[in-house]
Structure 1
Amino acid sequence: MTKTSIQFKYVQKSFGDNLVIPDLSFTVQEGEFVTILGSSGSGKTTLLKMVNGLLKPSAGEILIGGKKLADQDLVNLRRHIGYVVQQIGLFPHMTIAQNIGVVPKMLNWPHEKIVSRVTELLQLVQLDPDSFADRYPSQLSGGQQQRVGVARALATNPPYVLFDEPFGALDALTRLELQREIKRIHDSLANKTFLFVTHDINEALFLGQRVMVMHDGQIEQFATPEEVVTHPATAFVKELLGTVQQNEQLWGRAHD
């Protein structure tokens, strides 16, 4: 029997007089990898920030693990939600091992447990612990730093991991490599719910077990990649898919 992981019920979000999200309701099941696709201003990052309480809804209700977000200790909740952003935000004066161990140290884990967890996570993101643990962020490439960002987000073995366009600043080849890596990591971890925000339709379709297509603060379609491609629910989704088809046509002409 599937368990509900994240649920929005009639959620609204305004910034002053600007209604960004008029009415949002959806359910994500435990262990799902959901990609949230939309252009700038679609509300996708606002949605993500409401999940971990960085933003409060103006109306409606959010449930995390079956409990109302409004009733939870947000500091404690955030320590159990992994968060990966485009800017990464590694501490430059700390080694890679220290960066990954930041939250476990805050939670007073024993030193030996932190060292063991750091080693395990570096192996998970395919960075050799012997080579990388004692380096500093400035000694790593952008792709390697982003791997460390993922490892840090997983440090306390959180049930939820949020990704806010984490690969947007990377070159195309590195981005493709990390997409495959993050998919492999999700497949290897039990019952981890991933929410992944992107404006790249190919990334959304490749990564997501389900894809939430957003536009003007509303869900245009929330379905499997196959269903989105074969049965686009709205004119907007159809238009989005048209950009992929246009690229395929360009490639086709280039190789004729």
Structure 2
Amino acid sequence: MTKEIIKFNHVRKSFGRNEVIPDLTFSISQGEFVTVLGSSGSGKTTTLKMINGLEKPTSGDILISDKNLKDTNLVDLRRHIGYVVQSIGLFPHMTIAQNIAVTPKLLGWTQEKINSRVNELLETVGLHSADFAKRYPAQLSGGQQQRVGVARALATNPPIMLFDEPFSALDAITRQKLQVEVKQLHQQLKDKTFFFVTHDINEALYLGDRVMVMNQGNIEQFASPQEVVNHPASEYVKNLIDTVRTNQKLWENLK
């Protein structure tokens, strides 16, 4: 039986008088790669931040691995959820190895265990430890820095990985390469759940086992990429799909 690892039950979120999430209910199974698609202000990043307690719901319940966040130590929760953001946020005065080791050190790992994990993760994300461990962030390209960001998020072997538009600041070629690598990484890691926020429809459709399409804090559709493309559940989703088809026609006309 598939285990539910993330569950929202009638979650509402307001910032003052501004209601961002009116009523959100969904569940995600362990091992799924879920992409969250929506325009600015759709509530996708707020939803992501509520998963690791960076934002608290105004009402409703959020369960992570059957534990209600209302009864959970949020600092401990965050140490066991990987978080990859657009700005990466590497510490410039630390080496790559030291950046990856931040959370393991907080958890009291031995130096031997930390070194082994750092070397393993650098190889996992395609950066040879001998070449990159002692470098500093400024010595890496944007794509390489983002790989380090993924490695750092994986450091404690978390069951859940959150991605908040991690590739949106990268050039098109680097972005496409990293999309392929992240998809392969998820397949390699098997039981890890990826929750990936994006405003790029092609990225969402390519990466996700399921795609959650959000609009004004509501879920317009939550289904497989094939279902979203072939059977859009609302006018909003249909308009999104039509933008892809319009682009395809543009390319055909340029041939």
TM norm structure 1: 0.99
Residue number in structure 2 paired with 1:219: 219
Residue number in structure 2 paired with 1:232: 232
Residue number in structure 2 paired with 1:92: 92
Please give the secondary structure, in 2, of the residue aligned with 1:150.
helix
Residue number in structure 1 paired with 2:241: 241
The alignment of Structure 1 onto Structure 2 pairs a total of residues equal to 255
Deviation at 1:190, TM superposition (A): 2.8
Distance 1:107 1:7 in 2: 27
- CA deviation string 1:45-93 (max 9, x = no partner): 0000000000000010000001101100000000000000000000000
Distance 2:158 2:226 in 1: 29
RMSD: 0.4
Amino acid corresponding to residue 40 of structure 1 in structure 2: S
Please give the secondary structure, in 1, of the residue aligned with 2:9.
strand
Residue number in structure 2 paired with 1:25: 25
Residue number in structure 1 paired with 2:201: 201
Distance 1:149 1:7 in 2: 26
Please give the secondary structure, in 1, of the residue aligned with 2:161.
strand
Residue number in structure 2 paired with 1:4: 4
Deviation at 1:191, TM superposition (A): 1.0
Please give the secondary structure, in 2, of the residue aligned with 1:179.
helix
Residue number in structure 1 paired with 2:50: 50
Distance 1:137 1:67 in 2: 36
Distance 2:219 2:18 in 1: 18
1:13 aligns with 2:44: no
Residue number in structure 2 paired with 1:124: 124
Amino acid corresponding to residue 109 of structure 1 in structure 2: W
1:75 aligns with 2:75: yes
- CA deviation string 1:91-144 (max 9, x = no partner): 000000000011001111010100000010000000011000000000000000
Deviation at 1:225, TM superposition (A): 0.3
Residue number in structure 2 paired with 1:140: 140
Distance 2:211 2:4 in 1: 17
Residue number in structure 2 paired with 1:163: 163
Amino acid corresponding to residue 81 of structure 2 in structure 1: I
Q: Which runs of 5+ in 2 are unaligned?
A: none
Please give the secondary structure, in 1, of the residue aligned with 2:20.
strand
- CA deviation string 1:2-38 (max 9, x = no partner): 0001000000000001111000000000010000000
Please give the secondary structure, in 2, of the residue aligned with 1:112.
helix
Amino acid corresponding to residue 202 of structure 2 in structure 1: N
Structure 1: 4+ residue segments shifted above 3 A: none
Q: Which runs of 5+ in 1 are unaligned?
A: none
Amino acid corresponding to residue 54 of structure 1 in structure 2: L
Distance 2:133 2:213 in 1: 38
TM norm structure 2: 1.00
Residue number in structure 2 paired with 1:253: 253
- CA deviation string 1:186-226 (max 9, x = no partner): 00003101000000000000000000000000000000000
Distance 1:85 1:146 in 2: 9
